[in-house]
Structure 1
Amino acid sequence: MKEQKNKEIKMVDTFVIIFFVVLAAALLTYVVPKGSFETEEISYTLNDEVKTRTVIKNGTFEYERDEAGEPLRDGVKVFGTDADEKPGFLNYMFEGIVSGDRSGSAIGVIAFILVIGGAFQIVMSTGAIDAGIMRMITKLNGKEAILIPILFLLFSLGGAIFGMGEESIPFVMIVVPMVIAMGYDAIVGVMVTYVATQIGFTTSWMNPFSVAIAQGIAQVPVMSGAGFRIIMWIVFNVVAITFTMLYARKIKRDPKKSLAYESDQYFRDDLEKGKSVEQDFKLGHKLIILDLVLVMIWVIWGVVKKGYYIPEIASQFFTMGLVAGVIGIIFKLNNMTMDGVAKSFRDGAKDLLGPALVVGMAQGIIYVLGGTDPTSPTVLNTILQSASGLIAGLPAAISAWVMFVFQSIFNFFVVSGSGQASLTMPIMAPLADLAGITRQVAVLAFQLGDGLTNIIVPTSGLLMAVLGAAKIEWISWAKFQIKFQVLLFVLASVFMFVAVAIGFV
């Protein structure tokens, strides 16, 4: 009974944490005055195509002032209405959920998470994944550890080349039960999938959603500095893979040392059912695996060649789920019926409802702070301007490092790479000129700060969706991640100092 009570308390930890973050943001609006910037259109070339983006115009920050001419501190109301045109603290849940559009946070990401969860539960309900996992383990015959570096590098390349992020969620649903069956835990599964994509994303030399945009805004050649970043990618991956493999070996020796041991029981129970299917790996199972593989190829092709994003990818996986359901019915896999397909979809969506709600709650933080529009007077704009003032006048190496630290902290509020670039780079780029460092170093500070904290901040809807798919509580994940974050922070700091020392351009 005591263990059950403790587990129930942990289950609400993420909701409680974000609630108090929103509360802190609300209190901040009573202390920090509002400010705004002017914006301008800038152009940059990416893959021989001219792109435009609206960014902050540096040096245009102004406080909103009250009747006495003093900077206005306009705290949020406890409860807001449309007529007030002011944020309300108790409105953060609803307003956070409905913010954004079908292609982004929050409503688009929420829909994406629920559709993915439902579609993959159909696939899992056929027993094909479990049967395939057991068959693969039999063929590997004790050499499972080789999959850790292979998977990590593949997902890291996905993050580096085409900004893989949301696409990792369905892979997590496959890889987590696979590594648990091999004697590891869900944490290893998240490390070799989602974390790997973020390592690749962070150290990328060509990511079109972060590096290219930041370089375009900073007015340095897009895709420049690739040599330094490729070396950085290699070093970060070697360190991360080594860390993961050492942890995996420890869990293999004693699974009970895992922080996810209790939550992994869900997958262990499911795999026990799959063992009975393994001896009879039917044609229907093979067709579902083929369905899965073909859709993965379709998704990668769509993202790379056609620029598919959340709406298209969600529909692709929904198609996969429908096809798997039809195959399951025809071949009577796990006694699958039409009603069974519908129930599986509903159960899968239900399992990811919690992470989906966290996406909305996290956006509620931005709502309370007034939003991310630089032209509207908000507390967030003032924080951004104040941070630039702290950097001015410091020695070059320290200025670069403080830029990196600030970008890491700012990512807690704005986890979108392109969004953060549009808000911060127009200020940080000219500030780099004043600090005596190259603009390429300023881009590097953004790149490292934007990416690494995505692995731990509870305001990242993508992270919370991944943890939800892996059945890992955020508190457990944070306890594991803190050591890894310190390691990454030190490594990133070293690269920042080296970049300044060599005059990285």
Structure 2
Amino acid sequence: MKGRIDKEIKMLDTFIIIFFVVVAAAILTYVVPKGSFETEEISYEVNDEVKTRTVIKNGTFEYATDESGKPLKDGVKLFAADSDEKPGFLNYMFEGIVTGDRSGSAIGVIAFILVIGGAFQIVMSTGAIDAGILRMIEKLKGKEAIIIPILFLLFSLGGAVFGMGEEAIPFVMIVVPMVIAMGYDAIVGVMITYVATQIGFTASWMNPFSVAIAQGIAQVPVMSGAQFRIIMRIVFNIVAITFIMVYAKKIKKDPTKSLAYESDQYFRDDLEKSKEIQSKFSLGHQLVILDLVVTMIWVIWGVVKKGYYIPEIASQFFTMGLIAGIIGIIFRLNNMTMDKVANSFKDGAKDLLGPALVVGMAQGIIYVLGGTDPTTPTVLNTILQSASGLISGLPSAISAWVMFIFQSIFNFFVVSGSGQASLTMPIMAPLADLAGITRQVAVLAFQLGDGLTNIIVPTSGLLMAVLGAAKLEWINWAKFQVKFQILLFALASIFMFVAVAIGFA
């Protein structure tokens, strides 16, 4: 009986896990009083361009009070009408889904995930990707392992230079079946794509969406401290690649040891069908691959040169899917027809519907806690203020390390790098002055805390979309990630202590 219960607990669906987190958030609203901050506009320069951002004004925190003047503990309602001021616990799903706008979480990210899923399913339905994978395996002839460090370094560079994140989703759809065909598993595929982008994002010397914003808010010269961060990036890359190579070798030797072995059967079955159907890598297949490559170049150009984000990138991949469908029809790839193009798009969107809904559910946690507006009295604001109180008065090295831990935990609630920077850095930067550490160290604590936990927190819509594309259950991913997270945490802690010791400025 106990064994069966333990198994059921271990295999809880992500929806259930987040539901209980929402329950915990709702309970907090009855225990933790609400508070708010004043805000101000600050300016900073990035590449000679002046940018502005609204941030918290440090030292302005105030509790909301009840009629007797005591800090207000105003628990959420069970159900809230649209006209109610307080959030409702049972409203978290809908309210979480419709949070934000077309360019951000949650509704924009949900739309992005569904469009990407549909567009790439059209590409997959042509059979071009499977044919290309089979051709690549034939060419490599036992040298498949070289793919791991090469792809990891490329994706890590993308994360470091232009904050690559959402763009990793379509690559996962290609790389995961490829590495499974080579004898590895979906975990390896996610590690050398999405995880690589987050390692690059974390250990970047120039990331415009985290380092630059955090340094601007902390009034530290933007893009400063590059030498230390480049050394940190090299170390993180070496450690991560070594970890993946050791794991990949173990899985190659015995695939049944993989936590993804059962879910990977979907890709193995698909590959077997492709072997039966594909006789050659035809001109039509080559044109679909060319369509894919040109789109990737277009996306990277758009992000770097034009500042494209979710709406534009989604439309770029939608265009790719349409062109792939037209090529498939003209060359009769995999018996492609107009109806099959439409059905493929629907099937692809349907496959990622679960991860898309998780994005909304994760935002539902923030909704229950009152939102992320610092000027509105919320429980989240009080948590932020309380954390700053815990850090003050500690020895400098410990203060810096606790900052890193706090940023890691806070990332569970606010996974947006720029959003977390706007909320935490106005408090952490002056707190660093009081603790006797440099503001550059405070930025480093934010940088490491914000990036590394993106690899495991179920509240990250991007992570859940990636796992959905890889057919991986979050609970299995989390089991694998525990050792890797401990390794990353230890490595990050060492860099925090070194930064304090050398007076990183």
Please give the range of the TM-score, normalised by the shorter of the 2 chains.
over 0.9
Other-structure match for 1:332: 332
Matches within 5 A, 1:393-408: 393-408=393-408
Work out the CA distance in 2 between the residues paired with 1:226 and 1:81: 51
Aligned equivalents of 2:395, 2:288: Cα separation in 1: 59
- For residue 26 of structure 2, what is the aligned residue in structure 1? 26
The CA distance in 2 between the partners of 1:443 and 1:120, in whole Å, is 37
Query: What pairs with 1:134-283 in structure 2 (closer than 5 Å)?
Result: 134-283=134-283
**What's the CA shift for 1:275?**
1.6
Secondary structure in 2 matching 1:33: coil
The aligned runs of 1:27-42 (5 Å cut-off) are 27-42=27-42
> Which runs of 4 or more aligned residues in structure 1 lie more than 6 Å from their structure 2 counterparts after TM superposition?
5-11
Q: Which residue of 2 aligns with 1:480?
A: 480
Structure 1 residues 91-170: aligned runs within 5 Å:
91-170=91-170
> SS at the partner of 2:289?
helix
Which range moves more in the overlay, 495-504 or 280-289? 280-289
- The answer (yes or no) to whether the contact 2:12–2:475 under 8 Å persists in 1 is no
| Alignment root-mean-square deviation, CA | 1.3
Q: Is the Cα contact below 8 Å between 1:10 and 1:473 reproduced in 2?
A: no
Give the direction of change, closer, same or farther, for the CA distance of 1:35–1:48 in structure 2 (3 Å limit). same
Deviations 1:450-499 (A, max 9, x none): 00000000000000000000000000000000000000000000000000
Aligned to 1:449: 449
> By how many angstroms is 1:7 displaced?
10
Q: Write the deviation string for residues 33-67 of structure 1: whole angstroms up to 9, x where unpaired.
A: 00000000000000100000000000000000000
Which whole-Å CA distance do the structure 1 matches of 2:446 and 2:126 have between them? 44
Residue 276 of structure 1: how far off its partner (Å): 3.0
Matches within 5 A, 1:284-323: 284-323=284-323
CA deviation profile, 1:14-38 (whole Å, cap 9, x unmatched): 0000000000000000000000000
Output the CA distance in 2 between the equivalents of 1:63 and 1:439.
Answer: 27
SS state at 1:441 partner: helix
CA separation in 2, counterparts of 1:449 and 1:469?
A: 26
Q: For 2:293 and 2:99, locate their aligned partners in 1 and report how far apart those are by CA, in whole Å.
A: 33
Separation in 2, partners of 1:10, 1:429: 40
Is the 1:131–1:277 Cα contact (8 Å) retained in structure 2?
no
Give deviations 1:173-193, integer Å, cap 9, x for gaps: 000000000000000000000
For the residue of structure 1 that corresponds to 2:452, the secondary structure is: helix
- What one-letter code is carried by the residue in structure 2 that aligns with 1:139? K
SS of equivalent to 2:53: strand
More deviation, 346-355/77-86: 77-86
CA 1:8–1:125: 2 relative to 1, 3 Å: farther
* Structure 1 residue 84, shift from structure 2 partner: 1.2
Name structure 2 gaps, 5 residues minimum. none
CA contact (8 A) 1:99 1:107 kept: yes
Equivalent in the alignment of 2:346 = 346
SS of residue in 2 equivalent to 1:78: coil
Tell me the SS of whatever aligns to 1:238: helix
**Map of 1:51 onto structure 2:** 51
Name the aligned partner's letter for residue 353 of structure 1: L
CA contact (8 A) 2:65 2:72 kept: yes
- Secondary structure of the structure 2 residue equivalent to 1:30: helix
C-alpha contact 1:32 1:382 (8 A) present in aligned 2: yes
Within-5 A mapping of 1:418-433: 418-433=418-433
Shift of 1:12: 5.6
User: CA, structure 1 residues 350+245, in 2 after alignment: closer, same or farther (shift >3 Å)?
Assistant: same
Aligned length: 501
2-side partners of 1:336 and 1:11: how far apart?
38
**2:344 partner letter:** S
Q: Which amino acid aligns with 1:378?
A: T
- Mark the CA change 1:500 to 1:154 in structure 2 (over 3 Å): closer, same or farther: same
SS in 1 for 2:31: coil
2:282 and 2:403 map into 1 onto residues whose CA distance is: 56
Work out the CA distance in 2 between the residues paired with 1:278 and 1:81: 56
TM-score, scaled relative to structure 1: 0.98
Distance 1:63 1:269 in 2: 58
Query: Does the aligned pair in 2 maintain the 1:134–1:278 contact within 8 Å?
Result: no
Aligned-residue offset at 1:277? 4.4
Return closer, same or farther for 1:7/1:114 CA change in 2, 3 Å cut-off.
farther
TM-score normalised to structure 2 length? 0.98
Alpha-carbon deviations, 1:115-170, whole Å to 9, x = none? 00000000000100000000000000100000100000000000000000000000
- Quote the Cα distance in structure 1 between the aligned partners of 2:502 and 2:279: 60
Give the AA of the match of 1:428. Answer: M
Offset of 1:280 from its aligned partner? 1.5
> Per-residue CA shift, 1:282-321, capped at 9, x if unaligned?
1100000000000000000000000000000000000000
Q: Quick one: which amino acid aligns to residue 25 of structure 2?
A: A
Aligned residue for 2:40, secondary structure, equals: strand
Q: Secondary structure at the match of 1:472?
A: coil
- SS of the equivalent of 1:29 reads helix
Distance (whole Å) between structure 1 residues aligned to residue 290 and residue 11 of structure 2 = 36
Distance in 1 of aligned mates of 2:134 and 2:55: 52
Q: Which residue is equivalent to 1:60?
A: 60
Aligned to 1:504, the other structure's residue is in SS state: coil
Give the equivalent residue in structure 2 for 1:79: 79
Task: Verify the 8 A CA contact 2:55 2:422 in the aligned structure 1.
Answer: yes
The answer as to whether partners of 1:135 and 1:278 remain within 8 angstroms in 2 is: no
Asked if the contact 1:132/1:278 (under 8 Å) is kept, the reply is no
Structure 1 CA distance for aligned equivalents of residues 462 and 433 of structure 2: 34
Equivalent-residue separation in structure 2 for 1:11 and 1:235 (angstroms):
35
Offset from partner CA, 1:179-232 (integer Å, 9 cap, x none): 000000000000000000000000000000000000000000000000000000
Amino acid paired to 1:261? Y
Q: Cα–Cα, structure 1 residues 154 and 74, in superposed 2: closer, same or farther, change >3 Å?
A: same
Per the alignment, in what secondary structure is the counterpart of residue 42 of structure 2? Answer: strand
1: CA distance, partners of 2:307 / 2:277: 39
Distance 1:313 1:372 in 2: 26
Segments of structure 1 that go 5 or more residues without pairing to the other structure are: none
Aligned residue for 1:55, secondary structure, equals strand
1:83-123 deviations in Å (ceiling 9; x for gaps): 21210000000000000000000000000000000000000
Task: State the SS of the aligned residue for 2:67.
Answer: coil
Q: How far off is 1:279 after superposition?
A: 3.1
Q: Which amino acid aligns with 1:26?
A: A
